[in-house]
Amino acid sequence: IEEQDDKELKSLFKEYHYADIAEILDELNQDEAVYVIKLLDSETTSDVLMELDEDIREKVLRNLSAKEIAEEIEELDTDDAADMISELPEERQEEVISNIEDAEHKAEIKELLAYDEDTAGGLMAKELVKVYETWTVAGCMRRIRGQAKDVTRVHSIYVVDKEDKLIGRLSLKDLITAKSDQKIAEISNSNVDWVHVKDDVEDVAKIMQKYDLEAIPVVDENQTLLGRITIDDIVDVIREEADKDYQLAAGISQDVEADDSILELTKARLPWLVLGLFGGLGSVFIMKGFEHIMSTVPSLFFYTPLIAAMAGNVGVQSSAIIVQGLANDSVKGSLLNRLLKEIGLSLINGLALALLVILFGFIIGQDTVESVAIAVSMMSVIVVAALIGTFVPIILDKRGIDPAIATGPFITTSNDILGIYLFFVLAGLIIGF
């Protein structure tokens, strides 16, 4: 296809949805992608650009002039436009913004760029349909025909007073089913949800999910309507949040994909492996300290990987449940209750596993005292690992730190060291050395 047959390519791409074109471009090399992008008409291009993989988009934008980028930006909604500009290097940002011709669009984008990207302000778009409470239904319909042109999708119509303060909402359906001489104030619903411009995006996501909203208005401290956030942006927030927690639990510290370069993957993975290595070297130290019992009870050393694995697994389970609970706000009740419950739970699990260990010892003809010592020490290690797995995330969360970092390698490593130490000390107490 890459035989520079412009006409055929053009007509071919005309049939495709921009998300599909973006997927094809992600597969092509940089020059080919830039070539295709320049072929497409401006409206399609801007949508395609937004859908591209971040690193591909960066490369394509590097090949466009500030003026060309500004033209694409004009076609985008304010929220996407602000996102695209914020990805550019700083010196280019200014240049691109100064090339935007539509003064209103330019001012709105500048406003959005000023907000932190993790807040409602960073996620919202300026495009919305707004009506004044004093208008009639007929007048309102006329105005909406005008405003709606700029808004890709009309979710709700927001009702404001003469100072632009949000006082209600209205659906297109309400408007259609109303009589044309009714006042907006009569048919609007004053029970409108909103978020503050500085609210955290995760909180916005929770509110929209809880109330099943498809769009939510954003206001400032004076209740002035500033913009709106739509559910498709929230879907991305939810997905990113889930991916991040999953990667942290697996010991990957950056947002990487299977197709990223080896260098990027190493940067994301190696730090956690080094942490695990230090943990393992700590265990070496601990076991060296018990070298003198190697000749009398060698079997203890055979069980160390088992102890480390159990301490790690139990810790990861406990922390995962708590981290998810904290993310969904479903962790309730007092700390003492949680403490008692976790002890009860890990005692039950530990007891079942301890019996299996004793049974295994019996089958392989191991000394009974040794088997019992191993089983009882393992049970204690499991209880301690469960407590650490539960309370480290809770404590981090109380201090305002993302509890997800406590899952995965972090909890596994600390539980490994502590578990092996505890195992030798307790087994020593029972066997007597």
Which tokens in the block code for residue 228? 């709106």
Pick from 48, 51, 96: which is nearest to 74 by CA?
96
Asked if 109 contacts 100 with a C-beta cutoff of 8 angstroms, the reply is: yes
Q: How far is the CB of 44 from its own copies (least distance, A)?
A: 13
CA distances from 406 to 94, 321, 323, 389, 427 (A): 40, 12, 9, 8, 29
Hey, what amino acid is at 19? A
Q: How far is the CB of 400 from its own copies (least distance, A)?
A: 20
CA gap 166, 160 in Å, rounded: 5
CA gap 229, 239 in Å, rounded: 16
Hey, what amino acid is at 216? I
Q: How far is the CB of 133 from its own copies (least distance, A)?
A: 20
Q: How far is the CB of 367 from its own copies (least distance, A)?
A: 13
Q: Choose between 70 and 307: whose C-beta lies nearer to its own copies.
A: 307
Surface-to-core class of residue 375, CB atoms within 10 Å of its CB (0-12 exposed, 13-18 middle, 19+ buried):
buried
CA distances from 219 to 134, 222, 231, 257 (A): 20, 8, 17, 36
Q: Choose between 61 and 249: whose C-beta lies nearer to its own copies.
A: 249
CA gap 236, 248 in Å, rounded: 18
CA gap 282, 220 in Å, rounded: 52
Q: How far is the CB of 13 from its own copies (least distance, A)?
A: 14
Q: Choose between 17 and 38: whose C-beta lies nearer to its own copies.
A: 17
Q: Choose between 109 and 316: whose C-beta lies nearer to its own copies.
A: 316
CA gap 80, 18 in Å, rounded: 15
Q: How far is the CB of 430 from its own copies (least distance, A)?
A: 18
Pick from 56, 114, 47: which is nearest to 75 by CA?
47
Asked if 176 contacts 236 with a C-beta cutoff of 8 angstroms, the reply is: no
Hey, what amino acid is at 276? G
Q: Choose between 8 and 232: whose C-beta lies nearer to its own copies.
A: 232
Tell me the residue length of the chain: 433
Angle at 327 between CA 321 and CA 329, to 5 degrees: 95
Q: Choose between 89 and 298: whose C-beta lies nearer to its own copies.
A: 298
Q: Choose between 262 and 336: whose C-beta lies nearer to its own copies.
A: 262
Asked if 254 contacts 268 with a C-beta cutoff of 8 angstroms, the reply is: yes
Q: Choose between 89 and 344: whose C-beta lies nearer to its own copies.
A: 344
Q: Choose between 160 and 404: whose C-beta lies nearer to its own copies.
A: 404
* Helix or strand holding residue 158 (H, E): strand 157-160
Q: How far is the CB of 67 from its own copies (least distance, A)?
A: 28
Neighbours of 327 (CB within 10 A): 18
Q: How far is the CB of 124 from its own copies (least distance, A)?
A: 16
Q: How far is the CB of 344 from its own copies (least distance, A)?
A: 6
